[in-house]
Structure 1
């Protein structure tokens, strides 16, 4: 198992082309979908994510564990066992080198997004559950905005974060916007559907429209515009 050092050696090297913004969460979750599909149960090493945060890595890993059976990811310079690219492969060579382009990410978005013909009734942010920082970020984006009538806007986090928000200055913004907090991941959204989400994981397991977070907020506050 993965408790043995030799079994933790990277097997596949994924490189990102310059047309991919590595700081964009929508790109990162789409990268996760592609890596899961490609790697299966092998251990991927992703080069070019020097500035990735813990929360971003969490979201990428969640997507790769949905489309594949990825249990471990190395990011040179970020994850603890991969201070260098050589460390990630334990001074060996990768079995395969794969270059990811923006067209690959667009392909994933098209493949795993269910494009409903009707406006969404439910919009969900998060899954994996949002951290405190992520939850606050979503709530700040909702400040001064109002969720439209007949729309449900769910923010998926954990109970500790939910309790923090409901006992903080962010509660007023949350309640004023009409958004709701959920501690269930993935969010079990009640009828009626359709559903739109920024969660790559949710789109793999359920028929939801896959959009970035800002677009989800725009739809919830300004309305659906058919594309």
Structure 2
């Protein structure tokens, strides 16, 4: 691997032990994946934030790095925590968990990381341009950055992403290289894809088939009769589902995404998958639940934007909920929603706009929940295995009706 003089100095410890440790990680990863060089990165998104996932060992690892005076040198944002950092008590999280979770955030701040606590960094100012090299760890954000923004990132692990933030470098392999961004699976969509949950269901099916290959979608073009015309939110749902059911870090949509119309976007040896029915995905994403009682309705995986929060307000139409309703979002987005009166509207109906956290990485069973409803295919994929809760998956409309009635009728 060829290193610049500055990179060799980092590796030699000239910038301190914390930077040396980070460069050792970056170089080791590069060697594992056969990289010939490193590339500067414009931004980083770090995962591994919830204390439920990190535990004491992970927290101590971060503290040791911070004690070595390591600091990020490029804009670096943080993935969701396991609770709302301000309203944790009202939501029912224990003081024991909260104390440890806040310790994790404090260490990341010592390292210079912005405590954004969101899986949608592109909604809070971390927006790389087409062709920019970045090092992001959150799977849905990696998919969005590569596919919708046209930036270049592999799916980094938590320590690898933080090491990239400290060194400002990542290894040049995988999706940083032109040849690995070509599609190996042509997906022909021959069924209606009308709602966000339909996009999620489509993503679930394609992720299962694609695994870690790059798919190229035909039939989702703007003007193909889709009510939402492949909006950014729809693409967010599509990519998040593929990253969860498979490990898809990049996809192309003909006529929509920035690299889709390149003449060589399809590899010569690509395979073809025809999707003509989404019902198998809906069946797979719904747990085998006895009864229709819902304990929690959860929207916002990935984190909701302003338009999605406004849609929930529209569907609530001033009605009171019988079942807890959580809309998870970034703190910055929540403040914007509060300024526009959306938070008050949700709260007037008895719901909550929750910041900083993701249900998947939260200690949900401690709160007494057993079955939740969600319009998120990513959430429906992860919740049973990560939290032990059962899931009902359907449209946003069906989920809000479940919040109002307390039962699932989808």
Normalised by the size of structure 2, how large is the TM-score?
Answer: 0.51
Output aligned runs, 1:106-185, within 5 Å. 106-118=279-291, 119-148=293-322, 151-183=323-355, 184-185=357-358
The separation in 2 between residues aligned to 1:162 and 1:200, in whole angstroms, is 23
- Mark the runs of 5 or more structure 1 residues left unpaired by the alignment: none
Contact 1:115–1:209 (CA<8 Å) still a contact in 2?
no
Name which structure has the greater RCO, CA cutoff 8 Å, separation 6+: 1
Q: Any runs of at least 4 consecutive aligned residues in structure 1 with deviations exceeding 3 A, and if so which?
A: 186-189
- Mark the runs of 5 or more structure 2 residues left unpaired by the alignment: 1-173, 222-228, 385-390
Aligned length: 218
Contact 1:128–1:186 (CA<8 Å) still a contact in 2?
no
Determine the structure 1 residue equivalent to 2:206.
Answer: 35
Contact 2:343–2:353 (CA<8 Å) still a contact in 1?
no
How far apart are 1:225 and its partner, in Å? 5.1
Determine the structure 1 residue equivalent to 2:25.
Answer: none
Output aligned runs, 1:19-30, within 5 Å. 20-30=191-201
CA-based RMSD of the aligned residues comes to 1.8
Normalised by the size of structure 1, how large is the TM-score?
Answer: 0.89
The separation in 2 between residues aligned to 1:114 and 1:97, in whole angstroms, is 30
Determine the structure 2 residue equivalent to 1:209.
Answer: 392
Output aligned runs, 1:16-95, within 5 Å. 16-17=189-190, 20-50=191-221, 51-83=229-261, 86-89=263-266, 92-93=267-268, 95=270
The separation in 2 between residues aligned to 1:72 and 1:226, in whole angstroms, is 35
The separation in 2 between residues aligned to 1:72 and 1:225, in whole angstroms, is 34
Output aligned runs, 1:6-17, within 5 Å. 6-17=179-190
Contact 2:287–2:392 (CA<8 Å) still a contact in 1?
yes
Compared with structure 1, are the counterparts of its residues 225 and 68 closer, same or farther at alpha carbon in structure 2 (3 Å cutoff)?
Answer: closer
Determine the structure 1 residue equivalent to 2:123.
Answer: none
Contact 1:23–1:52 (CA<8 Å) still a contact in 2?
no
